[in-house]
Amino acid sequence: MVGPMAHSRARPNPADGKPLVRRAAATVGVLFLLIGVLGFVPGITSGMDDLRFAGHGSGAFLFGVFQVSVLHNLVHLAFGVAGLVLARTVTGARTFLVGGGAVYLVLWLYGLAVDHDTGANVLPVNDADDWLHLGLGIGMIALGLLTGRPRR
């Protein structure tokens, strides 16, 4: 159907009028939820028989690359929920992106400092996780700063 009637049945876009920082935070939150769920899906996560609650002994790898544990997946899920909740306001969205990015930079430093083969590697993290955490930290902070500025 074409013309004015075609639009009367169309659903409104939930992103219409929503500040970019809120959309960015919600998108990042959804991505974290997705990653958290995928960490429990056999085939997408290899070595599910070796999935442990926590620690370096977990032999599960998301996409065959990123070492994960139940705790690691739960952190992703919690981060995703936090992102969606905080995306409800501009201040919350900016806080989630900048603060969450800072948390991921600290996690990157943790990954560099901890011996990956010891009990101190609680989450667990490997070299691929370390690079991903660096990228997430920088990316989230950049999103928060660049999309969180008021329009002129």
Mean pLDDT of the chain: 88
Burial of 118 (0-12, 13-18, 19+ CB in 10 A): exposed
Q: Is the pLDDT of residue 8 over 80?
A: no
For residues 152 and 29, what is the distance between their CA atoms, to the nearest angstrom?
Answer: 27
Comparing 40 with 11, the larger pLDDT belongs to 40
8 against 66, higher pLDDT: 66
| Alpha-carbon span 61 to 39, nearest angstrom | 8
Query: How far is the CA of 36 from the CAs of 73, 85, 139, in angstroms?
Result: 5, 16, 19
Read off the pTM: 0.83
Percent of the chain with pLDDT over 90: 72
Whole-number pLDDT of residue 54: 85
